[in-house]
Amino acid sequence: MLRLTLFAVVFGALLLSACATGSPPGANAGDNARGSAATPAAPAATPAPEVLTATFEEARVAAGGEGEAVVRLDIAEGWHVNANPPSDKFYIGTEVQAAPQEGITPGKPVYPPALTKTFQFSDQPLAVYEGRAVVRLPLRAEASAAKGRHTFRARIRYQPCNDRECLQPRTVEAEIPLTVN
């Protein structure tokens, strides 16, 4: 009985070793096609789908004046993002975030009206954006703001969902073309 147990333990260890190295039991590690020091690569994770694409019109602001940046959010078919404000405090609403830079101060973003839809994962209808949503970001330029072309940096935070699940929240870095006249 002891020999049988010992055999089972040794065989199990060899089997586990083979699974870990990709080599058959009894083969040398150098026989592995990946090389003797190679560790088997984990299967490549399926990349998360690109659900939201942001595009921008060039914003124009006179020094000492006001203007706005137009942020277009194109959401892939079959997906949605939570509106701003979201339906519930536990949902992550889509948000355009920006801080003052180079004499340009952003105002409070103006979000589009939401669609109200019901999904399999929620008993209550949710406020969402689908297709294209346009966010307007007011901008104010100080009188001393340098004239010419600038890149105004912002972030777009959102959580992509389809009718069955929500993915992890994402943040996209945005570079908005801006001209100060």
Note whether residue 43 is domain-resident: no
Cα distance between residue 176 and residue 58, in whole Å:
7
26 and 57 inside one domain: no
Structural domain count of the chain: 2
The burial class, CB within 10 Å (0-12 / 13-18 / 19+), for 158 is buried
64 and 8 inside one domain: no
Token pair 């912002």 is found at: 154
99 and 23 inside one domain: no
pLDDT per residue as tens, the chain (181 positions): 444 443 444 444 433 334 333 433 444 443 433 333 343 444 444 455 689 999 998 999 999 999 999 999 999 999 999 999 999 888 899 999 999 998 999 999 999 999 999 888 788 899 999 999 999 999 999 999 999 999 999 999 999 999 888 899 999 999 999 999 9
pTM listed for this prediction: 0.71
Note whether residue 40 is domain-resident: no
Q: How do 148-158 and 95-97 pair as beta strands?
A: antiparallel
Residue 61 belongs to domain with CATH number: 2.60.40.1250
86 and 154 inside one domain: yes
Note whether residue 113 is domain-resident: yes
5 SS3 class: helix
Domain that holds residue 91: 52-180
27 and 95 inside one domain: no
